[in-house]
Structure 1
Amino acid sequence: MSFSELLEAALAGTSRQDPPAVVPTVDTSAENRLLRGASYEGLRRLAGRPLERAVVRTPLASAEAETQPEVPPPAACRLFEILDLRPELLPEWLRLVVERGLRAPHLSLPDLLENARTADDDIRDLIVAAGGRRLPWLARLNPDWQFAAWPDPDEGFASAGRDDRPHALRRIRQQNAARGRALLLNAWSAERGESRASLLDALSTGLSADDEPLLWSAISDSRKEVRETALHLIRRIPGSGFSVRWTERARQVFTVDSGSPQAPRLHINEPTAADSAWLADGLDPLPPKGIGMAAWLLQQVLAFTPPSIWPTSMIAAIRHTDWYGPLLAGLGQAADAYADDDWCGELLVLRARTKEALPLDAPALFAALQPHQAESVLRRLIELGPAAIAGLPDARSDPWSEDFSRFLVLRLPRLIARWQYSALQLLQAAHFRLEPRVLPELEGLLEAELQLQLGWARPSLDRLAETLEYRHAMRTELG
């Protein structure tokens, strides 16, 4: 029975809507049923566990004493307001709490655990870190909260459910990457196919060259999801044997002749079949529908090769071949997988300056950039117009630096005048990513509205200023 059903009955009145019988009881009036149900639901929400029949049970051990101080009272009030009205700001509030070595108030733990049920691993980690010693103790009392019931990640990896073990393995990797890898190796042969991909992805935490043998063996796994995860991670290892082997193969297949800067040429030694060694290193011999065998092999060779080996003239050279689309797609996949800042930026600028659609995953390229590089690329793209940044602000959630935040605020009037409603994509992202310290600049912009002719954008800018003020208050209250 949910609180919303009781609320509906209370708002409608018991004479018009019969309230639900929340707890077993003798026949009583509708008013009594409503009051009993509301009392139970309120206690349940405070206790963080459902009502159970009275049974003889072993007395529950007390939670361990807290070792972290609770957030100040104003910050605690702010948390309850965020949970009720502004849940989109919860991740930032939690990060601020964890950075300061504080913990959330005990009364908030049931709501935080409920929020964590549907949150991603990063948010769950923040909730567990901000919950103190009481949170895992409370989580053990509710089957729906078992993901947070194991303060010891080793115990969680051994005992948690299938969906929660990857999270436990990530926590182990944060503390000791070698131990996490050893645990996964020991359990690998017994893991079900649907579990292997998510467990393997946990190696992204603390990824190093020591993980390459396990990842390389997973490239030949029977499940496609496992193979794709392994191929993605192995390319994130700097100087891996995988990248060295594909570099040697790519140099045998492609040669860039940059003798003429205006018309560089790409010489291609077209492979006729997939070599067995290539297959062992992840190459898929079966092309998707609509792509020829030669184009498919060439695309994969580029996708598996570090793009840093190619000169920037490679883009122009590809254009003069019969396989422009597949080769550009392969180069884009490599830039993303190897997280090559230079090539991700070049390809994003190419996409912005090209009228026709290109086979590039722009959000993935933007997400692969290091934070400072992402800001640098975004500066360049903003100057190219709204189409250049379409879909990009939502591809990342990391906060913007104070320098970039100030750059953006000072350019808002011009962007609003030139882009009109297309500027909303930046304004929406700015709510949660602008550095709150630039609030004075934004307020100054609003005061100069008559000269700047902000027009339709004024309500959006007012909301942005209110959000920055709110986020600034979050920091002030936490100290």
Structure 2
Amino acid sequence: MQAWDDIINIAMIGTDKKQPDTISVPASLAEITTRIITGSEKNREEQFLQLASLLYNYQRCGISPLKKETAGTAAPVEEKKYCSTHAALALRDVLQDDNHSLLQYWLERCDSRTQIAPARFVPALLINGERNKKLRLLISSCVGKRGEWLSGFNTAWDFSAKQTQEEIWQTGSLEERQEVLQQTLVTDPLKAREWIRQTWQQEDAATKLVLLSILAPFADESDIDFLEGLSKEKSKKLQLFALESLRTIPGSPIVLMYESFLRSAVTIQKETSMLGFSKKNTLQCKLPDAVSEDLYKTGIDKLSSDKTWTDDEYVVFQVMQYVPPSFWEKTFQLSAEALLELFEKTDTGKKLLPALTKAAANFRDRNWANVIAQRRSVFQKELLPLLPLAPRDSYINHFFAKNINDVMDYAKETDEPWSMEMTRLILREAAKKPYPYVGFFQKVIAQIPVAVSTELSSYPVSEDQYSRSLWSGMSEEISRTLAIKNQINNAFTI
């Protein structure tokens, strides 16, 4: 409407430069518009505001609702069973709580039973999917045919339309492609790798980096040629990321080069005691006379900036991180336990021990991770996912006071349920110093065991009044959310 466009223009340039007139106003408003403009008792700003209010309401009243020709088509009959009444009541509480972590927890359980949410919850679930892209695949599965039908009336809900994983990979958003690639690498790794190779040349550098980061934890010998080919990429970040991935694949050329170097650089010498009655093994670290420059081209620094380290020790330390710990067992014909004891006996070995621990994490060696954790010589958070429950709890408990942030990072990143022992450690720390944990527990509620809710009031709290008050509210929120989680558990086990 021209009259409304004129109002917008006047609002932008000011009433002192232009005045409203009656020329473009609809005929039905001409009389009242004239009375507003010619009213001597009003200043120009008041006249403008009255006229703007009149035209705004006139325009709004004249808008016709959108029409969709397919609106009369009924939704298809559902193929999946609806969830139970108890599960529906739990979903109602989850949606009222507006907790995405808890909603994901409910959706995963519903989807694992090949069930769908009742029709009355479908719009709310689609709205959540619109806001949270991470939940879209789960929501699509749990809204059934009704959700697929409703997506035809709202382009923001198109994600609920029935699509194959390959269609999502080809046409989905980056977040959707990430999710489907992650899933397919678990269920059908050959197909996932084929997808990456097929579309690689069409991806931009940023997307390539994202896809490579998803592939990296799954990388194996079948990826060596592909990763080596990335050395020709223009992006330095991609080149470095590909190099890091190659460093964690046993049998890759770079790892084989590192192993060959270490055979010469690290040796075990037998030393005789002063009286000559006994001999003991000691670790020796000395670079060979000639070291190939190819080694240093892989990102290994030649010189140490720390005066407590020799250059030889520093070079060996860097390389050791990218050689499977089993290499040492084969080279020296010693068990992991015996090797760790050997490393712990000398000053050089103690310096190199963190590199050995890092290697156990890089190559996901569960045996070495367990042996290292039992000896408690050094802490490495990347070992935590590799450990059985009891050794993990013992390892965390021993190092928790000095490595709280690392443990918290692991707790935030893991998809596994927390043990009661780790949960108690974290909650006791939060009770004493609650401020760093504001909002944290609501994001990880799916991992927290329900049973801990009965203990929340028993943890020692800070003497500071503000901290006491903050923890009181925080613990009440945790308890309430855990009650909903327990409701979900019970609903899907009936």
TM bin (shorter chain):
0.5 to 0.7
2:31 aligned residue: none
1:421 aligned residue: 432
The equivalences for 1:335-346 within 5 A come to: 335-341=360-366, 343-344=368-369
- 1:324-377 alpha-carbon deviations (Å, 9 max, x no partner): 4xx566445433322234555677788x878xxxxx7x44443xx23x536522
1:373 maps onto 2:388 in alignment = yes
2:417 aligned residue: 400
Give ranges in structure 2 of 5+ residues lacking alignment.
Answer: 1-52, 273-278, 329-338
Equivalent-residue separation in structure 2 for 1:52 and 1:204 (angstroms):
54
1:69 Cα offset (Å)? 1.6
Equivalent-residue separation in structure 2 for 1:294 and 1:52 (angstroms):
80
SS in 1 for 2:115: coil
Contact 1:256 1:317 in 2 (8 A): no
2:340 to 287, 299, 312: 312
Q: 1:269 to 1:374 in 2, by over 3 A?
A: farther
Letter in 2 for 1:193: A
Q: 1:119 to 1:229 in 2, by over 3 A?
A: farther
Higher mean alpha-carbon deviation, 163-172 vs 188-197, is at 163-172
Equivalent-residue separation in structure 1 for 2:281 and 2:123 (angstroms):
64
1:90 Cα offset (Å)? 2.0
Contact 1:218 1:227 in 2 (8 A): yes
1:199 aligned residue: 211
1:14 aligned residue: none
Across the aligned residues of Structure 1 and Structure 2, the Cα RMSD in angstroms comes to: 5.1
The equivalences for 1:251-330 within 5 A come to: 251-257=263-269, 264-269=282-287, 275-276=293-294, 279=297, 283-284=298-299, 297-310=315-328, 311-313=339-341, 315-316=343-344, 319-320=347-348, 324=351, 330=355
- 1:275-318 alpha-carbon deviations (Å, 9 max, x no partner): 33775xxx126789968987775444223211343422465378
The equivalences for 1:4-83 within 5 A come to: 27-28=56-57, 54=66, 65-83=77-95
SS in 1 for 2:202: coil
Q: 1:297 to 1:469 in 2, by over 3 A?
A: same
Q: 1:81 to 1:342 in 2, by over 3 A?
A: same
1:154 maps onto 2:166 in alignment = yes
Letter in 2 for 1:472: N
Q: 1:141 to 1:303 in 2, by over 3 A?
A: farther
Equivalent-residue separation in structure 1 for 2:152 and 2:314 (angstroms):
51
The equivalences for 1:352-391 within 5 A come to: 362-366=380-384, 369-370=385-386, 373=388, 376-383=391-398, 386-391=401-406
Equivalent-residue separation in structure 1 for 2:367 and 2:167 (angstroms):
42
Q: TM-score, structure 2 length as denominator?
A: 0.62
1:392 Cα offset (Å)? 0.7
2:202 aligned residue: 190
1:92 maps onto 2:92 in alignment = no
Contact 2:255 2:322 in 1 (8 A): yes
1:147 Cα offset (Å)? 5.5
Q: 1:78 to 1:334 in 2, by over 3 A?
A: same
Contact 2:286 2:312 in 1 (8 A): no
Equivalent-residue separation in structure 2 for 1:131 and 1:89 (angstroms):
17
Contact 1:271 1:297 in 2 (8 A): no
1:153 Cα offset (Å)? 1.8
1:222 aligned residue: 234
Q: 1:141 to 1:54 in 2, by over 3 A?
A: closer
1:85 Cα offset (Å)? 1.8
Higher mean alpha-carbon deviation, 328-337 vs 180-189, is at 328-337
Larger Rg: 2
SS in 2 for 1:255: strand
Equivalent-residue separation in structure 2 for 1:53 and 1:237 (angstroms):
60
Contact 1:399 1:434 in 2 (8 A): no
Q: 1:341 to 1:426 in 2, by over 3 A?
A: farther
Q: 1:433 to 1:196 in 2, by over 3 A?
A: closer
SS in 2 for 1:269: coil
Contact 2:115 2:142 in 1 (8 A): yes
1:169 to 175, 178, 181: 181
2:488 to 465, 471, 474: 474
1:180 aligned residue: 192
SS in 1 for 2:267: strand
1:126 Cα offset (Å)? 3.2
Q: 1:353 to 1:171 in 2, by over 3 A?
A: closer
Aligned pair count? 408
1:152 Cα offset (Å)? 1.0
SS in 1 for 2:406: coil
SS in 2 for 1:276: helix
Equivalent-residue separation in structure 1 for 2:216 and 2:74 (angstroms):
36
Give ranges in structure 1 of 5+ residues lacking alignment.
Answer: 1-23, 37-50, 355-359
Equivalent-residue separation in structure 1 for 2:484 and 2:224 (angstroms):
45
Contact 1:212 1:234 in 2 (8 A): yes
1:48 aligned residue: none
Contact 1:169 1:180 in 2 (8 A): yes
Q: Percent identity?
A: 18
Q: 1:399 to 1:154 in 2, by over 3 A?
A: closer
SS in 2 for 1:391: helix
SS in 2 for 1:392: helix
SS in 1 for 2:340: coil
1:213 maps onto 2:225 in alignment = yes
1:102 Cα offset (Å)? 1.7
Equivalent-residue separation in structure 1 for 2:256 and 2:150 (angstroms):
50
Letter in 1 for 2:364: A
1:199 Cα offset (Å)? 2.4
1:78 Cα offset (Å)? 2.6
Equivalent-residue separation in structure 1 for 2:313 and 2:159 (angstroms):
45
Q: 1:162 to 1:271 in 2, by over 3 A?
A: farther
Letter in 1 for 2:284: L
Equivalent-residue separation in structure 2 for 1:464 and 1:313 (angstroms):
44
Equivalent-residue separation in structure 2 for 1:273 and 1:61 (angstroms):
75
SS in 2 for 1:265: strand
SS in 1 for 2:103: helix
Equivalent-residue separation in structure 2 for 1:345 and 1:76 (angstroms):
43
Contact 1:263 1:317 in 2 (8 A): no
